[in-house]
Amino acid sequence: MNPSALVEPDRVHRSVYTDPAIFELEMTHIWEKTWVYCGHESQVPNVGDYWTLQIGRQPMVMVRDQDRSVRVLYNRCPHRGVELCGNQKGNTGRAFVCSYHAWTFHLDGRVRAIPLMKGYDGTRLTPDNPDCSMKAAARVDSYRGFVFASLSAEGPSLAEFLGDAKVAFDDMCDRSPVGEVEVVPICHRVVQHSNWKFFMENQLDALHPSVTHQSTGVPARRVENRIKAEQGKAPLFFHYLSTFASSFDQWDSVQTVNFPNGHGILKGYMGLRPTDPDTLEHEALLKKAYGEEKAEEYLSRSIHHVLIYPYLSVQSPLQQLRCLRPTAANRTLSEIWHFRLKGVPEAIYRRSLWYYNLVNSPATMINADDLENWIKGQWGLEASKAGDWVSFHRNFGGDTEKDGVIYSNNGTSEAVMRSQFRAWAEYMKPAAAQTVRAA
Ligand code: FES
Ligand SMILES: [Fe+2]
């Protein structure tokens, strides 16, 4: 099967969402090659703290080493392959100790001790043999405290990979007067019974909110208006929900910016800069830290959502981050995080928490509606014989492209999906070349 034949400029074949063979190719040519988000440094604050995760099909562990650096290692004992860290997270002390035969390893993965070493005398297994140590990810790097790893020694640097989408992390951290955020160590982990692409497409899909989320947005707006009429103003969290019921014209006026590597930005539409005393106090702290001009620049970036393709959705003004770890063509684990800006009033943190609880948590009416669409989408594409193609024709030919970046002229343009599949096809080129050679 040649993956490049499945993607056309304005439509894609349904098998890219459903075929397990395509999923395996994606793991090989995308996830196990590119930079993958591991977590935030503050998830492992102390020496020996670890967090386990999946990069592509590989079980990995992110750990804080004694020299304070963050390592990313394969979570596998080199003796007989047992997973070294069986828990999601914890503290392993000064060493990893295998539960099976007690080989131990330094926090950078180097073997520390093998019990009864003399049993290996005369064999090719000697402690200086790298096969005795835990294997490390080929590359680890971080940007503003957000840690990434690549299982491939080759390819672009992290800075090149992130490109202009690094603004996701700048926009989040610059809202702190000390330029840092800290993870809130509660992470919802949700298994979505749908292909990962549904989530990625949906994040910048401005055509769906006023339909999918109408049942939440419209009542929220009614209550918000009633409170405003009675009290002059309504709490900001009503606004989080009521904007989902914006008109199609309003959605069309919000631009998406789509980068060549599939990353993208949905510009701001929510009006997240009220003039209440908490916000004014926060802004005064930023002005003191950065000066009037810089603080204004930081506060007026037009961003609602930044996507790092193919797995990260960052809502920087609200300190939200969601990360995908696909496990099958029709199954995707998502991690849902939020962050605390260091050095700001507690009221500003509560706004992130509201958004986390009202919109991004799996228990909310918003996320639940999205999940239902994605699973029904998966069922339709897997089962239905009524058609083989998924349409991305909306505003096709009507966007503006400059230096490889596609700027939508209509917010509801399916430029987002077309751009993501342009990146997908690029990643999958080696797979396509192999198929052609084999044919
Ligand atoms: S499998 Fe780990 S020490 Fe034997
Ligand atoms: Fe949605």
Average pLDDT value for residue range 81-107: 97
Does 269 have pLDDT greater than 90? no
Query: Token pair of 189, please?
Result: 């982990």
Pocket of ligand 1 (CB under 6 A): 77, 79-80, 82, 98, 100-101, 103
Task: List C-alpha distances in Å: 179 to 38, 162, 174, 176, 294.
Answer: 21, 19, 5, 5, 12
> From the CA of 111, how far away is ligand 1's center (Å)?
12
Angstrom distance (rounded) from CA 128 to CA 61: 23
pLDDT of 319 > 80? The answer is yes
Q: What is residue 439's predicted lDDT score, i.e. its pLDDT?
A: 57
Contact 65, 71 (CB under 8 A): yes
Model confidence at 438, pLDDT cuts 50, 70, 90, reads low
52-56, 103-107, 227-231, 428-432: least confidently modelled range? 428-432
% of the chain exceeding 70 in pLDDT: 99
pLDDT digits (tens, 9 = 90+) for 363-395: 888 999 999 999 999 999 999 999 999 999 999
Average pLDDT of 49-76?
Answer: 98
- Give CA–CA dist 207/254, Å, rounded: 11
- Ligand of minimum distance to the alpha carbon of 83: 1
Ligand sitting nearest the alpha carbon of 210: 2
Per-residue pLDDT, averaged over 41-56, amounts to 98
Tokens 């204004």 locate to 296
Q: Which atom of ligand 1 is nearest to the CA of 81?
A: 1
8-state DSSP, 358: I
pTM beyond 0.85: the answer is yes
Ligand 1 center to 118 CA (angstroms)? 16
C-alpha to C-alpha distance for 404 and 409, rounded to whole angstroms: 15
Instruction: Place 16 in a pLDDT band, splitting at 50, 70 and 90.
Output: very high
pLDDT of residue 195: 98
pLDDT band for position 228 (50/70/90)? very high
What distance in Å separates the CA atoms of residue 268 and residue 263, rounded to the nearest whole number? 16
Question: Mean pLDDT throughout 1-8?
Answer: 87
Q: Measured over all CA atoms, what is the biggest interatomic distance in the chain, rounded to whole angstroms?
A: 86
CA–CA separation, 200 and 206 (whole Å): 13
Q: Which two tokens stand for residue 311?
A: 């797995």
What residue's CA is closest to ligand 1, atom 3? 101
User: Which of 141, 198, 213 lies closest to 334, judged by CA?
Assistant: 198
In this predicted structure, what is the pLDDT of residue 273?
83
Cβ proximity of 36 and 149 under 8 Å? yes
437 band by pLDDT with thresholds 50, 70 and 90: low
Pairing, β 139-143 against β 305-308: unpaired
Closest to 343 (Cα-Cα) out of 400, 282, 432, 291: 282
Q: Averaged over 349-364, what is the pLDDT?
A: 93
pLDDT of amino acid 384? 93
152-202, pLDDT tens digit by residue?
A: 999 999 999 999 999 999 999 999 999 999 999 989 999 999 999 999 999
> What integer best gives the mean pLDDT of the chain?
95
- 104-105/111-113 β-pairing: antiparallel
Which residues are found with C-beta within 5 Å of the ion, ligand 2? Answer: 370
Residue reference for tokens 């298994």: 191
- What does the pLDDT read at residue 436? 61
Specify the pLDDT at position 128. Answer: 84
Ligand 2: distance of its center to the CA of 173 in Å? 25
Residue 270 confidence (pLDDT) above 90: no
pLDDT of residue 271: 75
In degrees and rounded to multiples of 5, residue 194 shows phi and psi of: -155, 160
pLDDT in tens, 98-151: 999 999 999 999 999 999 999 999 998 887 888 999 999 999 999 999 999 999
323 contacts: CB under 8 Å, gap ≥ 6: 37, 311, 312, 313, 334, 335, 337
For residue 86, the model assigns a pLDDT of: 94
CA of 113 to the centre of ligand 2 (A): 51
3-state helix, strand, coil in the chain (%, to 5): 40, 25, 35
Q: Which residue's alpha carbon is at the smallest distance from atom 4 of ligand 1?
A: 101
Written as one string, the DSSP assignment of 172-236 is: HHTTSTTS-EEE-S--EEEEESS-HHHHHHHHT-TTSHHHHTHHHHHHHHHHHHHHHHHHS---H
